[in-house]
Copies of this chain bind each other. A is one copy, B any other.
Amino acid sequence: VRTPGAGLKLRVEVPPHHVRSYEVVVRAGALDDLVSRVMLAAPADRYALIAPDDIVSLHAERVLGMLRRGGLDAELLPFPAGEKHKTRETWAALTDRMLELRFGRDTAVVALGGGVAGDLAGFVAATYMRGIAVVQVPTTLLAMIDAALGGKTGLDTGAGKNLVGAFHPPRLVIADPLLLGTLPPVELRSGLAEAVKHGAIMDAGYFEWIGAHAPAILGLDPAALEQLVARSVQLKAAVVMEDPYEHGRRVVLNFGHTIAHALELQDDYRLPHGHAVAMGMVAEAAAGEAYGVTEPGTRERLVETLRRCELPAAPVVGSWDALASTMRLDKKARRARPRLTLLERIGACARDPGGRWTFEVPENMLAAAVRLAAQDGPAV
């Protein structure tokens, strides 16, 4: 097929990797069927249950017991809880522990916990022996409606959040709202901020529903929680399916997050993620109004709903210069100019004339908007 001396030009076809699809189950009590669901969606020789150490007695021992009683060969691998441990070091330690325990390629990871567990255990699965299966079992509201869904995994570095990672879709997501009954109030509110975001960027009716049902949600009403998780999962799944690898519309999910990430980094991750997102949304709504693409009054509606959810509604800004410098490294920055997702109004995101879902807001305008939003003062 080739002439000696003329070289060779050859095209290598790359068939799809990954699963073609996965199921997300949202139901109070869904965890009871964990074993049969895991056996069907992620059959494996052995299972590595990865969970933060602060939920070992609360959830992890129960899940480990379920897996083992179901006849599965499972080991629990705890890691130190907290965003500050979502690092390359923790990833390396978990990987080394799995190697020590002689987990082979035919292993599935069960990621149990909040967003940190999902991102971290997901990245362990994405990279262990070039990729093994992962089942996501989120235990926080934030993880149920956000991190567990969509296949993003990642680690933080000194330079910012999620700067290292991979797309590694799970084989299965089980979201059981009954687990939220033991969630600390600050974490429930943190998740609620992402739900408010889902409403703000794509469903005005849902946005209103959250505002109206905030007392039931904060009071841990099971029906309200199940509805909340189910609605947010539907909305997020629709975006993820339209744009699984964040080449286009998926970036709308970053509404509020450019400023939120910078606030979190500046605060060394002590700020709860949902609080940062709440502040970020208000600031970015102010920026959108200043830039002229966001309907006037949008920021006020956001502030009102966030207050009903007992979330902070105004960004606490230390030094604007430091914040701006942090933002410049955001993954969405192209050539070091940050680009923001902006609302058109509550329930819809704006697109620029070129059809893109992000905008390059001039830095002085952004600085002014953040300062304006900050004047409302913290709500909680």
Point out residues on A near B: beta carbons under 8 Å: 1-2, 4-28, 30, 45, 88, 92, 95-96, 99-100, 102, 104-106, 126-131, 149-154, 157-160, 162-167, 169, 223, 226-227, 229-230, 233-234, 237, 240-241, 244-246, 328-329, 331-336
B105 close to A332 (CB less than 8 A): yes
B130 close to A152 (CB less than 8 A): yes
Contact partners of A245 in chain B: CB under 8 A: 17
B102 close to A92 (CB less than 8 A): no
Contact partners of A328 in chain B: CB under 8 A: 102
For this chain, the copies found in one complex come to 2
Contact partners of A167 in chain B: CB under 8 A: 17, 130-131
A12 close to B24 (CB less than 8 A): yes
Contact partners of A158 in chain B: CB under 8 A: 96
Known: A28-B7, A223-B5. A20 touches B12 (CB 8 A): no
B14 close to A165 (CB less than 8 A): no
Known: A126-B166, A234-B8. A102 touches B336 (CB 8 A): yes
A157 touches which one: B25, B99, B223 (CB < 8 A)? B99
B8 close to A27 (CB less than 8 A): yes
A-B contact pairs, 5 of them (CB 8 A): A15-B16, A17-B167, A17-B244, A106-B335, A128-B164
Contact partners of A226 in chain B: CB under 8 A: 4-5, 7
Contact partners of A333 in chain B: CB under 8 A: 104
